[in-house]
Amino acid sequence: MSERQDLQGRRIVLGLSGGIACYKSAELVRLLTRHGAEVRVAMTPAAESFITAVTLQALSGQPVVTSQWDTREPNNMPHINLGRWAEVILIAPASADFMAQLAQGRSDELLSLLCLARPRETCDLLVAPAMNREMWSHPATQRNAAQLQADGAVLLGPGHGDQACGEFGDGRMLEAAELLDAVIAHFQPKVLKGRRLLITAGPTFEPFDPVRGITNHSSGKMGFAMARAAAEAGAQVTLVAGPVHQPTPPGVQRINVTTAQQMYDAVVPVAAAHDIFVATAAVADWRPANLNEHKIKKEGHKAVPTFELTENPDILAAVAALPQAPYCVGFAAESEQLLTHARAKLARKKLPLIVGNLGPATFGKDDNALLVIDAHTHYPLPADGGSADKLTLARQLMLDIAQRLQDRP
């Protein structure tokens, strides 16, 4: 698939203050531009001790600004012009000293001047802290971080892990890919702000002995895309995931389960406290009635083992039947007659909305083709009847769900 253009046409100023994490900023420029953004770089004198302006100019394709006295600007006011041009100023890395400057409103060089002079109605400030763990945990830094947030800045991170000084803990700058995701999320419309979403994803695994069991081909990719899209839309998201190897989307609370019963126990007691329930998980309909204590072995000429199955609880139906049920969105992965089977599931479980797809054609893949069905109508997603990547589809579904919630009496 081609590179996603989630930032097409977006105007971003990347500001670098002094810190070893400046080496990550080169990759960040590359990622931002590859995803369609126009990036201009501004640097403090301290940042120039860690990375050259030549490197960042080559990667951004734009001149790098390092001084408020830059005579290339016709009016000699780069701190004014860049702030008027940008939709976002991203400070990455943001050192402890630079955060203190911002919190106190001090502006003695180009980058701090730019942050202070930006039009706050049209240009947001994102700050990615980068410092030693002791510096980050110091009360003064915590006060400054709180003040920046109170003033409207958005803090990205910091991360947790190895630090250049040899220590381990909080304070390191997020990786370039994490910052890219955060910037993309920042630009998504916050149509679900204040909403609480509960989402299930992946398969379940129903063991018949300690080694083997019954499962399916679900990769969890669609459910994880739904969780990411919901978080990007401003929702508070809880993701209950079966046994999959997918990274947890930023800002999402994840609960790992294995069996259908475990998923039921994690979902049903808390579902009523949520506004929306999205059931993307491919939950096993049946499980072995008995679990063998030890591995069933093939020895000699013994007869082929047989298994008695019992039905698993229906999680989606149970949530939809709650007295204070959330808005329930089902998923139906079928192998044939998609509309017929999905509409029957919609009626049987008394759902307002169901999303169908031909499971065997999309399990494990990065793209999908969906059919969105309610009691009266249905339409394909994408609208042209083709396919699209699962995150794009998830974002479109979140817009649809948000509109349906708004239109409810």
Whole-number pLDDT of residue 307: 83
3-state secondary structure of 384: coil
Average pLDDT of the residues in 103-113: 93
Whole-number pLDDT of residue 112: 95
The answer to whether residues 182 and 156 touch, using CB atoms and an 8 Å cutoff, is yes
Whole-number pLDDT of residue 65: 94
Q: For 222-264, give the DSSP string.
A: HHHHHHHHHHHTT-EEEEEE-S---PPPTTEEEEE--SHHHHH
Whole-number pLDDT of residue 297: 81
Confidence of residue 304 (pLDDT cuts 50, 70, 90): confident
Catalytic residue positions?
165
For residue 110, what are its two tokens?
A: 């180009």
Whole-number pLDDT of residue 336: 82
Superfamily of domain 196-290+305-407: CoaB-like (3.40.50.10300)
Q: What is the pLDDT of residues 240-282, one digit of tens each?
A: 999 999 999 999 999 999 999 999 999 999 999 999 999 999 9
**Cβ neighbours of 100 (radius 10 Å):** 16
Q: What is the pLDDT of residues 358-405, one digit of tens each?
A: 766 677 778 888 999 998 999 998 988 888 999 999 999 999 999 999
Superfamily of domain 11-187: Flavin prenyltransferase-like (3.40.50.1950)
Whole-number pLDDT of residue 360: 67
Do 11-187 and 196-290+305-407 have matching folds?
yes
**Residue spans per domain, the chain:** 11-187, 196-290+305-407
